Amino acid sequence: MSSVATVLPQGAGYGVVVGIGLFFSALMIGISYVQGRYTAFKPSNSEEFSSASRSVKPGLIAAGIVSAWTWAATLLQSSAVAYEYGISGPWWYASGATVQVLLFAMLAAKLKMNAPNAHTWLEIVGVRWGTAAHLILMFFGLATNIIVSSMLILGGSATVTALTGMNTLAACFLIPVGVAIYVVVGGMRSTLICDYTHTTVLFAIIFTFLFTVYATSPKIGSISKMHELLTAAAITNPVSGNAGGSYLTMRSLNGLIFGVINIIGNFATVFNDQAYWQRAIASRPETTVKAYLLGGIAWFSIPFGLATTLGLAAVALKGDPDMGILSPAAVSAGLPAPTAAAALLGQSGAAAMLVLLFLAVTSATSAELIAVSSILTYDVYKRYVNPLATEVQILNMGHYMVAFFALVMGFCGLIFFYIGVSMGWLYLFMGTFLGSAVVPIALCITWSKANKWGCVTGAVGGLVLGVMSWLVATAKLNDNVINVVTSGGNYPMLTGNLVAIAVGGIIAVVWSLLAPENFDFDITRAINKPVLVGASEGLEKEESIEEKKKTGESEHKTVPVDEEHAYESAHKTGITSAAELNLAGLKQAFRFAAWSSLVLTIILVIIIPLSLFGSSVVYGVSGFGAWVVIGFIWAFLAAFIVVLYPLWESRAGIIMVGKGIVKDMFKPGSGKYVDPEEDAVPA
Ligand SMILES: NC(N)=O
């Protein structure tokens, strides 16, 4: 696939894949033990396993979002588009995949308003629209998980193989299996804590590359040297469609086309993916919006900073004796970044890249595993196989499904590898296959007038027409030759992506306007809602909801009425009580999410890139310097948000656990968490 020489021994590949997997499994066991012993949250509770008792603070949720959204592609494909299109590639990659996370803040607020106790977004679809819509949209949800997971495995295994010579087949299976072990042990909360540690190390390595390339490397080492090398590279290899053939301009036609494909594809992989809904579900209701806005802003810096560093370095170092030659297939597999890292820092650069990539892949894999496990547990097993499943059965099923999907991930990665489909190809294709469901899903959860058949027809029709238009465009542009190479071109992919999302959206919206439903979201608010024993008003409301809702999907848990202890009850049952749910506050949060995410979206994908595209400027040293400095500042801001802020917000919990451990050290058993209510009841 590539002529990149393996810089590290095979043992390093196995060491990282197996060693780090085992290290995090051990860490997870430790965290779960500490959590169970010193806090109110017990990992043996099914709500805690899948939704962290809906109690996680915004900094940790933001770190979890960054971690789930940092794929192999975030590091590799962003650098590949920098390598191909110059500075516009990192901008389009970063902005074109940030805006969805920002906009998702609105959906997260609506989820908390309309179905605060759902486990999955599909539960809402099932309760609102019944079995047919549930199964059809589940197809899109699971297809998203499979495509994202395959990209993770393909990107991870391609890099491990390129850098160490490790067997690709072994990498395809060892990566997800190692992660599955620690997800099963820890569940959602420990996964978020692990995400936090991953993200911290990830930023440390990204800063190492930033400073190496722009400050210390003897090969580049400064902004002006990078500028000089990129200018020289454009003379020998001008970029087709770029102003002056330069790498130093936002006027890049192919960069712009990639930008549009990127925006559409990433809408699909955020809105259709349970992993992002799951973080909203795990979040405290009052801080969900904040978490998504912070997560999106922080995430931007990862692809932007790394691709502006390693992707451009791969161009600048072309012809350097340490720089491997990159074939088109190697670029599609995402290898410019690892190749540049090895050229800049030799074995330590390759090792740092390997660890960076492995951490990104494992944390995103953990998000996918727990997401699919939740869908298979709640939307397949509980809904269709065993509606009366006990707590233990649900928890066990959650564990089995994590292991099952780890194997599915390995097989999918392997199948795509053998048929020659790379991570880069899948990245461009994801919007064509998944984009049609974006608007229907968003409408189902947010809009009472959304029409069931309009949304279902939009999703299916958009898929069919998206795939057909993509194939027709491929045939027309390539003398009727349709294969992996021709179908992966920018124009066919752009056609398929645009048709899929537009057809899905237009059918769903127009049909809903012509035949609006008048759905009462009290019905979805009743999903998994606690029955307030002794509260007659609450019971009456509950009964009226039951009358409205004829399908019987909702289940009810009984908790005592005591609004003062609502939060503690939530900790024990993992459900959000009415006392905790401040609808007025959530409406205000939704309004804030709407205007702030829309303003940021317009700035990031319209005002900045299109005005720079229109100006056709090729940057001089100072302009390029400003661009790079913005990347540095953004990366520092991001590290503050996802590394320091979670520690600060959790200081009380960390002190509580610390005190428990110290007490245990002096008097074994005395530091254990004691439930205040149990404590009050005489034995
Ligand atoms: N998560 C992405 N699109 O890198």
**Does residue 249 sit in helix, strand or coil?**
strand
The first and second tokens of residue 540, run together, are 């009456």
**ipTM of model:** 0.99
Looking up tokens 């160490």 gives: 164
Residue 558 backbone phi and psi in degrees, to 5: -100, 125
- Confirm or reject: Cβ of 275 under 6 Å from ligand 1: no
Q: What is the pLDDT of residues 507-526, one digit of tens each?
A: 999 999 999 999 999 999 99
Smallest CA separation from ligand 1 atom 1, residue: 69
Q: Decide whether any atom of ligand 1 lies within 6 Å of the 360 Cβ.
A: no
Q: What number does the ligand 1 atom closest to the CA of 97 have?
A: 3
SS in 3 state form for 5-73?
Answer: CCCCCHHHHHHHHHHHHHHHHHHHHHHHHHHHHHCCCCCCCHHHHHHHHHCECHHHHHHHHHHHHCCHH
Q: What is the pLDDT of residue 578?
A: 61
Residue 439 has pLDDT above 70, yes or no: yes
Q: Is the pLDDT of residue 676 over 70?
A: no
| Measured CA distances, 118 to 47, 111, 225, 530 (Å) | 10, 8, 54, 12
Instruction: Calculate how far, in angstroms, residue 493's C-alpha sits from the geometric centre of ligand 1.
Output: 17
Q: Which amino acid is at 102?
A: L
**What is the percentage of the chain residues whose pLDDT exceeds 70?**
89
Give, using CA atoms, the residue closest to atom 2 of ligand 1: 74
Q: Is 73 in the pocket of ligand 1 (CB under 6 A)?
A: yes
- Give the residue carrying structure tokens 């992993």: 275
What spacing in Å lies between the alpha carbon of 376 and ligand 1's midpoint?
24
Give 93 Cα–ligand 1 centroid separation in angstroms.
8
- Determine the Cα–Cα distance for residues 623 and 230; give it in Å rounded to an integer: 14
User: Does the pLDDT of residue 683 top 60, yes or no?
Assistant: no
CA distance 85 to 593: 33
The ligand 1 atom nearest the CA atom of 303: 4
Determine whether the shortest distance from the Cβ of 363 to ligand 1 is under 6 A: no
> Band of the pLDDT at 574, cuts 50, 70, 90?
low
Residue type, 268: A
Residue 219 has pLDDT above 80, yes or no: yes
Q: What is the pLDDT of residue 34?
A: 83
Rounded Cα distance, 257 and 493, in Å: 9
Q: Is 97 in the pocket of ligand 1 (CB under 6 A)?
A: yes
pLDDT at residue number 44 = 66
* Ligand 1 atom showing the smallest separation from residue 73 Cα: 4
- The domain locations on the chain are 54-422+588-666
Q: How far apart are CA 458 and CA 378, in angstroms?
A: 25
Inform me whether the pLDDT recorded for 124 exceeds 90: yes
* pLDDT for the residue numbered 618: 97
Q: How far apart are CA 354 and CA 164, in angstroms?
A: 9
With a 6 Å cutoff on the Cβ, whether 45 touches ligand 1 is no
Considering only CA atoms, which of 352, 360, 16 is closest in space to residue 209? 352
| Residue bearing the CA closest to ligand 1, atom 4 | 74
pLDDT tens digit sequence for 594-648: 999 999 999 999 999 999 999 999 999 999 999 999 999 999 999 999 999 999 9
Would you say the CB of residue 366 lies under 6 angstroms from ligand 1? no
Ligand 1 atom at minimum distance from 77 CA: 4
* pLDDT for the residue 227: 98
**Which of 155-169, 236-250, 503-517 is least confident?**
155-169
H helix or E strand, kind and range, residue 559: strand 557-560
In this model, does residue 438 exceed pLDDT 90? yes
Find out whether 230 and 86 touch, Cβ atoms under 8 Å.
Answer: yes
Q: Would you say 276 and 111 are in contact if contact means Cβ atoms under 8 Å apart?
A: no
Q: What angle do CA 405, 100, 274 make, to 5 degrees?
A: 25
Topology classification of domain 54-422+588-666? Sodium/glucose cotransporter (1.20.1730)
Cβ(597) – ligand 1 distance below 6 Å: no
* pLDDT on residue 43: 64
pLDDT at 353 over 50: yes
pLDDT given at position 678: 58
Average pLDDT, the chain: 87
Is a pLDDT exceeding 50 seen at residue 552? Answer: no
Tell me the CA–centroid distance for residue 272 and ligand 1, in Å.
14
**From the CB of 299, is ligand 1 less than 6 Å away?**
no
Instruction: Give the chain's count of helices (H) and strands (E).
Output: 30, 2
From CA 116, how far away is CA 586, in angstroms rounded? 11
Residue 143 has pLDDT above 80, yes or no: yes
- With a 6 Å cutoff on the Cβ, whether 71 touches ligand 1 is yes
CA of 490 to the centre of ligand 1 (A): 18
Cβ of 77 less than 6 Å from ligand 1: no
- Cα–Cα distances in angstroms (integers) from residue 95 to residues 100, 295, 299, in the given order: 9, 13, 10
Question: Does any ligand 1 atom lie closer than 6 A to the CB of residue 144?
Answer: no
Average pLDDT over residues 534-558: 42
How many Å apart are CA 481 and CA 90, to the nearest integer? 31
| Ligand 1 closest atom vs CA 265 | 3
Tell me the whole-structure pTM to 2 decimals.
0.86
Q: What is the reported pLDDT for 122?
A: 97
For 448, phi then psi, to 5°, come to -65, -25
Q: Are 26 and 659 in contact (CB under 8 A)?
A: no
**Res. 681: pLDDT tops 90:** no
Phi, psi of 416 (to 5 degrees): -60, -40
User: Given this model, what pLDDT does residue 191 score?
Assistant: 78
Kindly state the average pLDDT of the residues 487-493. Answer: 93
Place of tokens 């491929």: 474
pLDDT at 95: 97
Please state the atom number of ligand 1 nearest to the C-alpha of residue 364.
1
Q: Does residue 69 line the site of ligand 1, with CB under 6 A?
A: yes
Q: Is 266 in the pocket of ligand 1 (CB under 6 A)?
A: yes
pLDDT in tens, 457-476: 999 999 999 999 999 999 99
Distance in Å, CA 565 to ligand 1 centroid: 40
Provide the greatest CA pair distance for the chain.
Answer: 83
Residue 585 dihedral angles phi and psi, to the nearest 5°: -65, -40
592, 86 in Cβ contact below 8 A? no
Question: Residue 303 Cα, ligand 1 centroid: separation in angstroms?
Answer: 8
Residue 428 has what pLDDT?
A: 93
Spatial separation of the C-alpha atoms in residues 319 and 322, rounded to whole Å: 8
Q: What is the pLDDT of residue 228?
A: 98
- Cα-to-chain-centroid distance, residue 503: 25
Q: How far is the CA of 269 from the centre of ligand 1 (A)?
A: 8
Residue nearest to atom 3 of ligand 1 (CA): 97
- Among the residue ranges 225-234, 347-356, 546-555, the one predicted with the least confidence is 546-555
Give a three-class secondary structure readout of 459-474. HHHHHHHHHHHHHHHH
Q: Which two tokens stand for residue 455?
A: 């949304």
Please state the atom number of ligand 1 nearest to the C-alpha of residue 78: 4
Of 40-44, 177-181, 490-494, 495-499, which gets the smallest average pLDDT?
A: 40-44
Is residue 265 within 8 Å of residue 348, measured between CB atoms?
no
Q: Is residue 562 helix, strand or coil? A: coil
Distance CA 257, CA 476 (A): 18
Residue 587, pLDDT > 60, answer yes
H helix or E strand, kind and range, residue 531: strand 530-533
Span 3-31, pLDDT tens digits: 455 788 999 889 888 888 788 778 877 88
Among 49-63, 108-122, 155-169, 612-626, the least confident range? 49-63
Q: Mean of the pLDDT values across residues 207-220?
A: 96
Ligand 1 centroid – CA 313 distance (Å): 21
Quote the distance between the C-alpha of residue 80 and its chain's center: 20
Residue of 65, 74, 258, 304 with the most ligand 1 atoms within 8 Å of its CB, for mutation: 74
What pLDDT is stored for residue 542 in this prediction? 42
Q: Distance from the CA of 145 to the center of ligand 1, in angstroms?
A: 13
How many angstroms is it from 394 CA to the middle of ligand 1?
A: 31
Q: How many CB atoms lie under 10 A from the CB of residue 329? A: 15
Q: Which one of 66, 69, 302, 365 would you pick to mutate in the ligand 1 pocket, going by the greatest count of ligand atoms within 8 A of its CB?
A: 69
User: Mutation test of ligand 1: which of 99, 144, 266 has the most ligand atoms closer than 8 Å to its C-beta?
Assistant: 266
- How confident is the model at residue 507, as a pLDDT? 98
Residue type present at position 320: D
Distance 266 CA to ligand 1 centre (A): 7
Distance CA 504, CA 500 (A): 6
100 CB under 6 A from ligand 1? no
Band of the pLDDT at 566, cuts 50, 70, 90? very low
Cα 68 to averaged position of ligand 1 atoms, centre (Å): 9
CA of 554 to the centre of ligand 1 (A): 34
Q: Residue 104 has what pLDDT?
A: 93
- Cα of 399 vs centre of ligand 1, distance in Å, is 27
Query: Among 67, 71, 365, which is best to mutate for testing ligand 1, by the most ligand atoms less than 8 A from CB?
Result: 71
Q: Which residues of 194-224 are buried (b: 16+ CB within 10 A; e: fewer)?
A: bbbbbbbebbebbebbbebbbeebebbbebe
Mean pLDDT of 323-352: 91
Spacing of C-alpha 225 from chain mean position: 35
**What's the half-sphere exposure (Cβ side, CA atoms, 13 Å) at 128?**
33
Rounded average pLDDT over 239-244: 96
Least confident range of 116-130, 408-422, 501-515, 665-679? 665-679
Q: What is the mean pLDDT of residues 303-322?
A: 96
Round to whole Å and give the CA distance between 549 and 127. Answer: 8
Choice between 665 and 577, residue whose per-residue pLDDT is larger: 665
Instruction: Identify which of 171-180, 278-287, 380-389 has the greatest average pLDDT.
Output: 380-389
